[in-house]
Amino acid sequence: MPVTATVTGDGKKITIHISGEFNFSVYKEFREAYQRSAQPANTAYVIDMAGADYMDSSALGMLLLLRERAGGERSEVVITNCNPEIRKIFKISNFDRLFKID
């Protein structure tokens, strides 16, 4: 499965693991992963890209939808373990200004 999620016991942190291609074909899985939180504005989200080898513009849109649900500018969304190609996409699209990218 390209998208899996783990939630802390208190429900305040959701880690979404992406593997393979991060594109529109995983939209439903990705949305369901972050909608597990009953209080999205009080939840921290970590997007673990360690297993991702490709990302397209629809993935950028999905990340923006997550950020909006999580509270926009007040949201806590961290993107981790990006390969160099994906990191470059984030830099070119200025997503490094919207998200904390580790």
Please report the DSSP string for 22-66 in residue order. Answer: ESGGGHHHHHHHHTT-SSGGG-EEEEEEEEEEEE-HHHHHHHHHH
pLDDT in tens, 56-85: 999 999 999 999 999 999 999 999 999 999
In CATH terms, 3-101 corresponds, of 3.30.750.24, 3.40.640.10, 3.30.70.890, 3.30.2010.10, to 3.30.750.24
Task: Tell me which of 52 and 41 has the higher pLDDT.
Answer: 52
- pTM flag (> 0.85): yes
* DSSP conformational letter for 83: -
The residue extents of the domains of the chain are 3-101
pLDDT bracket for residue 1 (50, 70, 90): low
Q: Provide the mean pLDDT of the chain.
A: 93
Residue 70, Cβ density class (10 Å: 0-12 exposed, 13-18 middle, ≥19 buried): buried
